[in-house]
Structure 1
């Protein structure tokens, strides 16, 4: 290695430090850029080929070193469609290539970003501050199935009504119910004069057409306890108030004669005294000596015991067949001091028509719409991917990254990452650290200039020898 080579080496050192200060300045400039990932500088030595024991330190090469795997701070924004990723992962986005018929046209090339300051544009699409459109699955809020895949669009259309088809119920029936007839009659059991028309104790079949007439309603109410009340919905979204009562029709005597309850619902929503008839749902709910439900049996595969309430009709309005779902151990008969029914869970799957009031983002990446009818339904799934080597991505403008061979293929799924709604991820630039690197870089740059001046002086001395 001669003096001229030393001069060239010092030049590469200047270039390397210039590259480093360029990255430092960019990091500082983007210290407040949402989702920005700083670029560090790594230096690689290039040793000229020499014989053993005569190696010479050669030139230097500066390379960028991404910090995509380093999390930035997460801060609240109070914008419901803003999102931050806590953990690994990137949002999948596309950029707009133009407009056609008043609608954006996308270039079809997927990019990836941590910039989650998404807001709804005039067309309903979710766009971040750099103009990238969020991709994912648009869901049918009624069925929960994927309606389309691509740019997520918030639909402000009316949510159609859904007919009630299933009720989920969880409760404890008192082993000894306290009824109006308990104190005077000495028995809480309901034993009508014409039992064949209003009660069933046969657990092998489902009876239909069993009804307590309005004339006999007073006696029925005196020998029964209040059950759950809820609002069901017809196919058009009309609300129907359903009032129920439980009547115990048989005490436990042996395994072949279990305790049996019947469930009734009122034919009218306005239940006053004996002014309405009561319809038996037609199923004998049987319990063993320990208070466990034995019939209807729990399905081994689903873990749910289900019965059908045929043609549920209130105030002359027919809702339709309703499936009553009872989870494992969801309906029991334990002794209680109050002698009344304890309802632990009661839900139904119907609702009236409604309009979208607001949206929010769940931790699993679902965009949930809150509707005016009180329903909260998933309307989209956010497209989130992971990379084996996120630092191998190619960085582009707007906080976007492009997949490369070094990064590996995009892997779908959160894998432990959570989505934080109404928040954004800040830049992972540390100003103090960048200032420290700036001082070191400046000193290294000055040292390289000193090498250049020294080499130049030595060359001048060499030329003077010739003279």
Structure 2
């Protein structure tokens, strides 16, 4: 090989250092990019076969790797739509909202709604999530990215939920006489969100002032008001030794233009105190529009209505691979699985080794500027040294050519 080998070795060294300077330049340029993972250049030697008494110079080969598993610093923001992963895992995003869109992984969680209400990050990629319908928890496709949809926070339609369950716990006074009546009313909602009022009326039918005191005290309950038909009278029994209700079956109340609502009375009591409502609750709501949306720490996206109700509409999963540093990087802080990275595994934040979701935070770049500037100086000096090797070989070759003149 001789002098030509020396020159080729110098060129190999300059190319390798050029590659390293390229990664340094990218790292410095993206030191403020959300979710950016620094690139690193490593070198391996290329050795040629050697002859007796001679040395054939080889060269150096540059290899690029990415520090994807290194956590960036957290910076907290005022946006409830900014997300960061503390630990393992990536957000799943797509390059479009229609069929045929390509999905990818990212750590950049700065999401804002576009004109159609879809959440997109700064690279224009759409956040993916599982839609929640009917309040049922979504099922996860553990080994793939199927079943995911672009997250849309536009909920323009009015939402009215009819009452489906109710609770009414009351204390019925032991001191009441036979024939005494106490009552209360509860507001519920029909199928169109109209307020309906139902009346619970209790009448005492057992005399508990006699001696010996009866083992049970009985009241008759009648439910009237906005019901398709009156309910009762239903006999309610209480243990006079403890004051607790006996056989506490729910009372089914048919609401006008609504559901038949089971009311739980099980914790009602019969004690020597005034008639008191100790617990009352009925679900449902009148027509209301969405005021805002926000994420929960478990990845659930909630729609907050003007009347204060909250409804879960999406759940955001995280994806991971066995070797994240072997993912294929793409423009926009995106990564795609490769043969070396292994297959994708999908789950929810905080489960099965996946990281926690930080709401109102962003993960910064994991670039250390001081280290990059040091590497830049080292590469610059090494590149210059390799260029001198090339020049020395070129000069010696010129001397050799001049010998024939």
Asked if these proteins are the same fold (TM beyond 0.5), I'd say yes
Q: If the length of structure 1 is used for normalisation, what is the TM-score?
A: 0.69
How has the CA–CA distance of structure 1 residues 8 and 190 changed in structure 2, closer, same or farther, with 3 Å as cutoff?
same
Partner in structure 2 of residue 323 of structure 1: 262
CA contact (8 A) 1:287 1:293 kept: no
1:450 aligns with 2:388: yes
Once residues 220 and 380 of structure 2 are traced to their aligned partners in structure 1, the CA distance between those partners, rounded to angstroms, is 84
1:421 aligns with 2:349: no
CA contact (8 A) 1:246 1:262 kept: yes
Once residues 190 and 109 of structure 1 are traced to their aligned partners in structure 2, the CA distance between those partners, rounded to angstroms, is 72
Partner in structure 2 of residue 113 of structure 1: 106
Q: For residue 405 of structure 1, give the secondary structure of its aligned residue in structure 2.
A: coil
Partner in structure 2 of residue 136 of structure 1: 129
Partner in structure 2 of residue 206 of structure 1: none
CA contact (8 A) 1:23 1:40 kept: yes
CA contact (8 A) 2:216 2:237 kept: no
Partner in structure 2 of residue 152 of structure 1: 151
CA contact (8 A) 1:16 1:62 kept: yes
Once residues 432 and 130 of structure 1 are traced to their aligned partners in structure 2, the CA distance between those partners, rounded to angstroms, is 27
Shift of 1:465: 7.4
Q: For residue 343 of structure 2, give the secondary structure of its aligned residue in structure 1.
A: coil
* CA offset digits 1:148-187 (Å, max 9, x no partner): 8422222323243222121357x7x88xx8x5xxxxxxxx
Q: For residue 13 of structure 1, give the secondary structure of its aligned residue in structure 2.
A: helix
1:382-397 aligned at under 5 Å gives the runs 382-397=316-331
Once residues 86 and 368 of structure 1 are traced to their aligned partners in structure 2, the CA distance between those partners, rounded to angstroms, is 21
Shift of 1:22: 0.6
CA contact (8 A) 1:38 1:427 kept: yes
How has the CA–CA distance of structure 1 residues 261 and 4 changed in structure 2, closer, same or farther, with 3 Å as cutoff?
farther
1:308 aligns with 2:250: yes
1:284-295 aligned at under 5 Å gives the runs 284=237, 295=247
Calculate the aligned-residue CA RMSD, in Å.
4.1
How has the CA–CA distance of structure 1 residues 323 and 310 changed in structure 2, closer, same or farther, with 3 Å as cutoff?
closer
CA contact (8 A) 2:161 2:191 kept: yes
1:234 aligns with 2:190: yes
Q: If the length of structure 2 is used for normalisation, what is the TM-score?
A: 0.78
CA contact (8 A) 1:137 1:150 kept: yes
CA contact (8 A) 1:116 1:128 kept: yes
* CA offset digits 1:325-356 (Å, max 9, x no partner): 58xxx9497999x888694x754331222111
Partner in structure 2 of residue 220 of structure 1: 181
* CA offset digits 1:374-407 (Å, max 9, x no partner): 2111111224211111111111111111121111
Which has the larger displacement, 410-419 or 396-405? 410-419
Once residues 64 and 220 of structure 2 are traced to their aligned partners in structure 1, the CA distance between those partners, rounded to angstroms, is 72
Once residues 368 and 121 of structure 1 are traced to their aligned partners in structure 2, the CA distance between those partners, rounded to angstroms, is 18
Once residues 34 and 388 of structure 1 are traced to their aligned partners in structure 2, the CA distance between those partners, rounded to angstroms, is 23
1:436 aligns with 2:378: no
Q: For residue 412 of structure 1, give the secondary structure of its aligned residue in structure 2.
A: strand
How has the CA–CA distance of structure 1 residues 396 and 386 changed in structure 2, closer, same or farther, with 3 Å as cutoff?
same
Partner in structure 2 of residue 182 of structure 1: none
Partner in structure 2 of residue 411 of structure 1: 345
How has the CA–CA distance of structure 1 residues 145 and 158 changed in structure 2, closer, same or farther, with 3 Å as cutoff?
farther
Q: For residue 154 of structure 1, give the secondary structure of its aligned residue in structure 2.
A: coil
* CA offset digits 1:98-155 (Å, max 9, x no partner): xxxxxx6454221111121211111121111111112222333x54466984222223
Once residues 252 and 28 of structure 2 are traced to their aligned partners in structure 1, the CA distance between those partners, rounded to angstroms, is 70
CA contact (8 A) 2:291 2:306 kept: yes
Q: For residue 161 of structure 2, give the secondary structure of its aligned residue in structure 1.
A: coil
CA contact (8 A) 2:253 2:263 kept: no
How has the CA–CA distance of structure 1 residues 32 and 230 changed in structure 2, closer, same or farther, with 3 Å as cutoff?
farther
Shift of 1:47: 2.8
Query: Unaligned stretches of 5+ in structure 1?
Result: 97-103, 180-187, 193-215, 252-256, 270-276, 297-306
Once residues 258 and 16 of structure 1 are traced to their aligned partners in structure 2, the CA distance between those partners, rounded to angstroms, is 94
Once residues 321 and 57 of structure 1 are traced to their aligned partners in structure 2, the CA distance between those partners, rounded to angstroms, is 89
Once residues 192 and 372 of structure 2 are traced to their aligned partners in structure 1, the CA distance between those partners, rounded to angstroms, is 63
Out of 283, 294, 297, the residue aligned to residue 360 of structure 1 is 294
1:5 aligns with 2:10: no
Shift of 1:453: 3.6
Partner in structure 2 of residue 17 of structure 1: 17
